[in-house]
Amino acid sequence: MTARRGAPARAGGDPSAQDRPLLTVEGLTKRYGARIGCADVGFMLWPGEVMGIVGESGSGKSTLLGCLAGHIAPDAGRVIFDTRDRGPRDVLAMPEPERRMLARTDWAFVHQNPRDGLRMGVSAGANVGERLMAVGARHYGQIRGAARDWMARVEIDVGRIDDRPSAFSGGMQQRLQIARNLVTGPRLVFMDEPTGGLDVSVQARLLDLLRGLVRGMGLSAVVVTHDLAVVRLLSDRLMVMQGGRVVEQGLTDQVLDDPQHGYTQLLVSSVLQV
C-alpha cells in the first residue's frame, strides 16, 4: 500500500518521523456491557495522510474516534502516537496531564455539533485564542492577531471577532470550531461528521475549506462520516465498519470503485446511504 507522504517536514521535528507512522492503532476494543462499541480495530496513519471511516449508524465510528482521542477509555488495545519530543508513545498509558496537553497542542477534535466544540458564552476571538492561552500565550495583541488570522483563513468576517458564536450561522460556527482547533498547529485532527447537520450548499463550501487546510498544512486526520462524498474528497484511505469491526480498508478510490466486502458493495451502491 502506498501512503501519501507529501507533508512538509516540520522544523525542530525528528527528521526520521516522516518515515514512520504518526499513529499506530492495535486491537482497539470497547464494549458497553454486552454490546460491542468497536472491536479489534487496527490501522496505521502516516504523516500527512487522511483516513476516512464510514459505516452505518451504530457501526462504532464515534466509539472508535472517542477511544483514539482519549475521550473514551477502551477495554483493550494500544494507540501509539509519534510525539514531537519523545517519539512514539502509547497514548492510553500516558498520565492524564500529558494526554491533555497533547489534546490541546498536537491534536484537534472537531465535533459534529459545533456547540459541543465551542464556548458559546465567549466571543469568537476568545474561542480561537483559548488553546493558545491554554499553552501559555500571554500577549493579548498576538493572541488577537492569531484569532484574526484564523478567522480569515476559515472565511469568517474578521469584523465579527468580538461577537459570540451564538450569533453565527451553523456553517460559520463549524468554521469557527475548525479555526479554534487548528490555531495551535496540531499534527493530527479527529473529525466526527464535520459536515453533518449542515445544508448541502454549506457542506460543499466547508468541505472545500477543510480540504484546502488539510492539504495546505499537511495535516493528518481521521474523519468519520456517513457521506461517501466527504471521503472521496478528503481521505487518502478508507476503513469500512460494520457492527464495531473493520470489514474492509484500503485506498479510498480502490475501496469505493472496487469494493470487496459485501457490506461495502451495498454501501457503495448507495442502498445503505442515509
Ligand X SMILES: Nc1ncnc2c1ncn2[C@@H]1O[C@H](COP(=O)(O)OP(=O)(O)OP(=O)(O)O)[C@@H](O)[C@H]1O
- The letter for the amino acid at 96 is E
Tell me if 194 contacts ligand X by CB under 6 A. no
* 63 is a contact residue toward ligand X (CB under 6 A): yes
Helix (H) or strand (E) holding 80: strand 76-83
Closest contact distance (angstroms) between CB of 61 and ligand X is 3
Among the listed residues 21, 39, 61, 234, the single contact to ligand X using CB under 6 A: 61
Site string for ligand X, 7-36 (x = CB under 6 A): -------------------------x--x-
* Among other proteins, Mg ion, ligand X, none, partner that 15 touches (CB below 5 to 8 angstroms by kind): none
Work out how close the CB of 44 gets to other proteins at its nearest, in angstroms, rounded to a whole number. 30
In the complex, minimum distance from the CB of residue 220 to ligand X, in angstroms, rounded to a whole number: 21
Q: Of Mg ion, other proteins, ligand X, none, which one does residue 60 interact with (CB within 5 to 8 Å by kind)?
A: ligand X
As given in the structure block, the three cell numbers for residue 172 are: 460559520
* The three grid cell numbers given for residue 250, joined into one nine-digit string: 484500503
User: Which residues are 29's β-sheet partners?
Assistant: 76
Provide the strand spans (E) within 7-154.
23-32, 35-45, 50-55, 76-83, 87-90, 107-110
129 makes contact, choosing from other proteins, Mg ion, ligand X, none, with CB < 5 to 8 Å by partner type, with other proteins
The whole-angstrom separation of Cα 62 and Cα 222 is 11
Q: What is the sign of the dihedral through the CA atoms of 249, 75, 111 and 88?
A: negative
> Within positions 40 to 99, which residues make up the interface with Mg ion, using CB under 5 A?
62
Chain residues binding other proteins by CB under 8 A are 96-97, 100, 104, 119, 122-123, 125-126, 129-131, 133-135, 137-141, 143-144, 161-162
Amino acid at 35: R
Indicate which of ligand X, Mg ion, other proteins, none lies near residue 37 (CB less than 5 to 8 Å, by partner kind).
Answer: ligand X
Are 187 and 129 in contact, with CB atoms under 8 Å apart? no
29, 59, 195, 264: which one contacts ligand X (CB under 6 A)? 59
Cα dist from 20 to 14, 44, 87, 200, 267, whole Å: 11, 9, 10, 37, 32
Where along the sequence are the contacts to ligand X (CB under 6 A)?
32, 35, 37, 55, 57-63
